[in-house]
Amino acid sequence: MALAAGFEETFLKLDPVCTIYEEEANFLSSAGGAATLDLFLALIRQTAGTAISNRVADDLLCASVRPGDSRQTMTDRCRLQHRNEKLSRAVAVIQDSLEDPLPTSMLAQKVGISTRQLERLFGRYLGCTPKTYMTNLRLDRARVLLQQTHMSVIDVAVACGFSSAGHFSKLYRRQFGISPHIEQSAP
């Protein structure tokens, strides 16, 4: 999913999904080696049956055959859901609002807990404040966009919820030890 941010910003009319493979009309697509194997085994299962598909999987030393609607990667949202439902919901809200970040108090309100409870959850499970977590996600997304698109630094800053290019550059340099302009021009 590291490439998803650049893909989404480049192809605004497309709606990418996180499944391991997609079958639609006359088109098949998958991303990565393991996902391609899963798609291959699904096609064998459709044409030759489950027994043959399982035998091919065994021959290829494939431990399990994943259905196509399995997630491609495990996100923080999925990992955290097992730890704490409120924290998982907070992370989901943060991820869905990177372009327009919410204040911690509004985030807590959306999750249905107090600001202090939210801060304790983030400290306990993630070792940081909600604001730090949100800023780090926004900076990670910015880095992907700078490395994988031809967007200007200001466009990347805006796409990641920073209202000032100067503030964005300062935070970016502090986080990654390089200015966004240099990151963008690196080969």
Q: What is the pLDDT of residue 56?
A: 82
- Interatomic CA distance for residues 187 and 184, integer angstroms: 8
Q: What is the pTM of this model?
A: 0.62
Residue 117 has pLDDT above 50, yes or no: yes
Contacts of 170 (CB under 8 A, 6+ apart): none
DSSP code for 71: B
Residue 74 has pLDDT above 90, yes or no: no
Q: pLDDT band at residue 78, thresholds of 50, 70 and 90?
A: very low
pLDDT one-digit tens code per residue, 15-59? 777 777 777 888 888 777 777 787 878 888 889 888 888 788 777
Phi and psi of 82, rounded to 5°? -75, -20
